[in-house]
Copies of this chain bind each other. A is one copy, B any other.
Amino acid sequence: MAEIQTINLLIESLRKLPGVGVKSAERMAYQILDMKEEYVHQFISSLDGVINRIGKCPICGSYTEDNICPFCNDETREQNTIIVVSSYKDALAIEKLKSFRGKYHILNGSLSPTKGIGIKDINIDSLLKRVSSPEVKEVVLATNPTIDGETTALYISKLLENYPLVVTRLAYGLPMGGQLDYCDELTLSRALEGRLKMRKE
């Protein structure tokens, strides 16, 4: 068959994106071939930016184009609360709420014995440095509600035991708008365990 090497390479690159199978990658590649050169140039420049313009913030581990990331650079944010998340996109999800005005700390992963991700592979050391500052009063652990996420939260909360800090985690329970009978058992049992009083006494 008349294979064109460049197209095959492009399909291979697209295949590695999440949720893209062979058929989609092919469709994407042929569309890219039909697109204006200008678009392809812009695509290349944004990928080039990933390599050459984006680094990690030495304070919180977030992606940044400057030395210090926009979160850490923002002096209007409160210094006394740090929310710990697994990834940059988790930070963005919280940021979208517009209700959190503290600082972020991005682990860039979760502890995972099965995937061989250990203590040194995620961004914990710099968190310990940050919480040593007397300004920090609360650390919110907002790792994912998965085994790896909970293991990570547990490990960090142990590390923080000797610091004069309040350590909290996000609440588990029923997702809003869901139906109780469609809820999985684990979530339901967590919701029951964490039940709250309706009336303050």
Contact = CB atoms under 8 A, between A and B. Distances in A.
Total copies of the chain: 2
Q: Is the interface of A mostly helix, strand, loop or mixed?
A: helix
A128 to B, nearest CB: 23
A65 B10 CA distance: 14
Nearest to A6: B49
Interface residues of A, number: 58
Interface string A52-88: 0110000000111100011100100000000000011
A89 B26 CA distance: 9
A5 interface: yes
11 contacts: A1-B95, A2-B62, A2-B70, A5-B49, A9-B46, A10-B49, A17-B28, A18-B27, A18-B31, A19-B27, A30-B87
